[in-house]
């Protein structure tokens, strides 16, 4: 009996799940389907989370990370701290397919992309350049940049971007929960029950150059066991790395937990292991965002978030749509806007 075809993704992945679902209906391989899905987001200059138009590091350069995992073969590939290459997810897939390594980083990843003929380009758009420049003006009082004197001194597009994150024109207040970020995770299951997934990101905005989060790390940013299911994440990569959450999520499902219960347990583990004062709110809860997307072999799925209300994307026999995530804590002062801004990546 055929399994239910399904694709799930972070909330910026509506077009990605729509394409991935259509491709799996046409019997395309699950990994090819989800990679082609997220490539739509990597190409979109209006999405500030990945690829072209992603937010840059503190020096104004866009650095991208990506990983893929193919359930039927249990193979994986990733790239990290990669510059000038828009299609990081496709390059991660090439790592998996063409060389006897699982992860390439920095100049090595760029050289590999060049060898395969990937085009090099400036990934910084005019919008993200202006956002980065404004951040330089407000980030410190100990350098030569002058902060804006009023809102009239700030580009309207930039001002709107910062306002969505509860920041004023001078950048106050700013904390982990407000810091601009971005990632897309997408997972798919086909009619034969094969599962694959991909994560691609431009990472934490204005990060220290060379910083790598969880996205390209197999077992942290994503993981698949074709007999059990998959798990992937968006949010604060440093927190996820410490608990290797995607591997743990699949193991929890192996031991009988539903995707929802497994996802909530991962969030609770992060809560228990977050002890740094600057990462906790007044009630001792993590002040950052983390989300998990879990897909079981049965087709059952869940999307869970540290803070809500938040959303995710899904495509199945009922069409492609945005739905609400389950969550641990509700942030009263910020409702979901549909924009992917859930913590640091």
Contact assessment for residue 123 and residue 97, using Cβ atoms and an 8 Å cutoff: no
Q: Which residue in the list 183, 200, 201, 274 is annotated as catalytic? A: 183
Using the structure block, give the residue that is written with the tokens 């390059």: 91
Q: For strand 75-83 and strand 103-105, is the pairing parallel, antiparallel, or unpaired?
A: parallel
Using the structure block, give the residue that is written with the tokens 């994560």: 199
- Residue 274 annotated to the active site: no
Q: Which residues are known catalytic residues? A: 183
């Amino acid at each position: 009996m055929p399994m239910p075809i399904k694709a799930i993704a972070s909330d910026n992945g509506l077009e990605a799940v729509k394409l991935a679902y259509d491709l799996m209906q046409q019997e395309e391989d699950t990994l090819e389907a989800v990679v082609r899905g997220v490539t739509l987001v990597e190409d979109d200059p209006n999405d500030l989370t990945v690829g072209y138009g992603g937010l840059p590091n503190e020096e104004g350069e866009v650095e991208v990370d990506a990983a893929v995992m193919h359930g039927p073969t249990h193979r994986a590939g990733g790239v990290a701290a990669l510059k000038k290459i828009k299609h990081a997810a496709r390059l991660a897939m090439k790592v998996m397919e063409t060389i006897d390594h699982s992860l390439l980083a920095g100049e090595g990843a760029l050289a590999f992309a060049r060898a395969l003929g990937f085009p090099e380009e400036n990934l910084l758009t005019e919008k993200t350049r202006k956002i980065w420049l404004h951040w330089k003006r407000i980030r410190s009082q100990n350098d030569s940049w002058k902060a804006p004197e009023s809102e009239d001194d700030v580009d309207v597009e930039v001002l709107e971007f910062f306002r969505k994150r509860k920041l004023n024109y001078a950048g106050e207040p700013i904390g982990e929960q407000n810091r601009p970020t971005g990632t897309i995770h997408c997972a798919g299951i086909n009619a034969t029950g094969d599962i694959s997934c991909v994560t691609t990101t431009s990472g934490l905005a204005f990060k220290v150059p060379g910083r790598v989060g969880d996205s390209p790390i197999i077992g942290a940013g994503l993981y698949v066991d074709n007999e059990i299911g998959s798990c992937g994440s968006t949010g604060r990569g440093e927190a996820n790395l410490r608990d290797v959450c995607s591997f743990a999520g699949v193991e929890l499902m192996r031991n009988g937990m539903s995707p929802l219960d497994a996802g909530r347990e991962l969030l609770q583990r992060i809560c228990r292991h977050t002890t740094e004062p600057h990462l906790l709110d007044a009630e001792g809860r993590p002040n950052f965002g983390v989300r998990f997307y879990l897909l079981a072999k049965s087709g059952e799925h869940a999307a869970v978030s540290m803070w809500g209300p938040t959303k995710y994307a899904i495509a199945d026999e009922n069409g492609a749509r945005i739905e609400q995530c389950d969550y641990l804590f509700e942030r009263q002062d910020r409702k979901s806007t549909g924009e992917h801004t859930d913590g640091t990546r």
